Amino acid sequence: MSGISLDAGALIAIERGDPDVRALLRQAADRGLEVHVVPEVVAQVWRGGPRQARLGAFLSARGVTTPEYDVHAAREVGRLCGASGRHDVVDVHVVWHARSRGHLVVTSDPEDMRAIDPSLPLVSV
């Protein structure tokens, strides 16, 4: 495992100060693991304002990456949507991104992620 990818539920847990997610992120940092958040996940949860100060600080923290969503990634996500029969491009992008990088997925929807890829390593929050 080279890193972790977070879904919207994981970002919401960060925003709420969930101690389990904080511990997981601390462990990832201690091990030098990458932390990635695909851009659509940010769009799902970001509303701005002072209530999201914790989330804003996390997203701009050193070691947290929001990779670009280019046409190659879009095509691969579309292919995986077709192959898995799933239509939620955000979840599918999280799965594709994590799979392509050997990441663990931190999610609040393990059933949805497993429906896309049953072999994906997951941590449920």
User: Apex CA 31: angle with CA 28 and CA 36, to 5°?
Assistant: 40
Q: Please, what are the domains in the chain?
A: 3-124 (3.40.50.1010)
Digit-coded pLDDT (tens) for 69-124: 999 999 999 999 999 999 999 999 999 999 999 999 999 999 999 999 999 999 99
Q: Which residues contact 108 (CB under 8 A, 6 or more apart)?
A: 7, 8, 9, 10, 12, 13, 124, 125
| This prediction's pTM | 0.94
Digit-coded pLDDT (tens) for 108-120: 999 999 999 999 9
Digit-coded pLDDT (tens) for 7-61: 999 999 999 999 999 999 999 999 999 999 999 999 999 999 898 999 999 999 9
